[in-house]
Structure 1
Amino acid sequence: MNIKQLIDASKKPELYAPATATMWDDPYIGARLLETHLSQATDLASRKEATITDTVNWILGQAPDKPLDILDLGCGPGLYCDKLARLGHRLTGVDISATSIKYARQAARKSGLKISYLNQNYLELDHDSRYDLIIMIFCDFGVLTPSQQNRLLAKVHRALVPGGVFVFDVMNEGVLATLPDPQWEASDKGFWRDRPYLALSRSFCYEEQGVCLSQHIVADESGSVDSYRFWTHTFSHETLHRLLWARGFRNISCHDGLLPDSDAHRSRDVTFCVARR
């Protein structure tokens, strides 16, 4: 193991500096991530079932009371799609993780639910006036860079029918004051590898830009040192309103405190946003 390489990789990177690896195209990490999505012991990948049920009911309260055509962006293993389909809505779920989409398709077939799942990057979607409701849950919107956010909003606006509703959640500025302490893990086998590894995890704040970074440096006996970086943008109500208004959305509203406190976030740090085409 090259200690100097490990030290250099652990430093605070420049804003938006790319990582050397991603979770989504790694079959082993993808399987561990799916386990975390499905676990009822943590909210680190998906929220617990009771919270998902409450969120689904709240989301439907923002949309017309009729059978809806719904698009779930970043659907993961289909936990929201499943509940919405059981309520009589027509669902399309999109996720970049092949592992999650495979599970979602199998679960839908087993339950007899007609849900269309697409394994692709939602930034590549090209749908026109198709959906009554589009959702993007678990703060996925804030992971995108500003240019990607604008690109996505244009695609969402185009994909909604006139009067259609976009509901998504983000981290607000309160999270910048609550970054976790650095952590390290030495394991024979675990989340990151199926062989011995050392993982160094640390969060960094870019306060001027309202961005925080969760960085994980993983080294193993092969000598490789990989970085995994998860950028999160924070938003005020005013920033969300300006961003959405500029992309043609109207009737914009923001809502704090809808979720319970959890191991992934404080309730007051998550803002839900509703906007209409």
Structure 2
Amino acid sequence: MLIAICGPAAAQQALLTTSELRHWKLTLPLDADGDGKADEISRLAGYRNPPWFTPTTEGILFRANAGGARTSGSTAYARAELRELDESGRPAAWDCLGDTRNLKLEQVVLHTTTAKPEATIGQIHDAKNDNLMFKYVGPAGANGSTDTGRIELLWNDAAQSEVLDAAYTLGQPMRVKVAVNKGAVQVTYRNLVSGLEKQVAARLDPTSIVGACFFKVGVYIQACSKLDAYGKPNAVCEKKGWDARRYDAPEAYAEVLIQRIEM
């Protein structure tokens, strides 16, 4: 279910296309070359790989599955996610506490896993930690397509958090603005259907920063299966020690539609 954005503002702004993604590289929940790691795509103009990365007339669909290929053996989760690049096409690396950066994002969470209906949908990351992220968390007994859950903001490796939207229904477009100014972060969230708007001021903790920072957007699924889609055990997932009902099937997925990105 996608609830359309109506009105002059929506009509005047072009929706996201792959040609606009020259400052991003893509990680997919696939291991096409069999090297044991998630595939990365650096040149995205004209690229498509349904259902994982699908340009449409409404934007670009990102899908990650609970049994998808992962970036390393130390993470339990798969992703269909963009990672920021600099002007020269190299991985972006800006000073978390000294630089000024801005990100504007319009997106829709369309679908989630059901056993553990959680997905990260935007991040500031460094060489090791989640400096700031916002995520969708669904209700118990989720069906994955029409649920009402919440959008959370977490920062300093999840040491601090705040709810941005306590009644977000799947299919509702949102607008998120992240303004970073020398370690001070202003996040503005707006649900474009309900009209709810919230601002949160956060500060990055110098003691939790490792290396330089960069933005990530897309869907980083927060659900996993003990046996992945390639028939291999996911030892990190199994070590979570959850109740059996919290483990999803390998094919269970989360999907996000990104309509606009500005930096």
More helix, by proportion:
1
TM-score (norm: length of structure 2)? 0.28
TM-score (norm: length of structure 1)? 0.27
Higher RCO structure (Cα 8 Å, ≥6 apart): 2
More strand, by proportion:
2
Pair member with larger Rg: 1
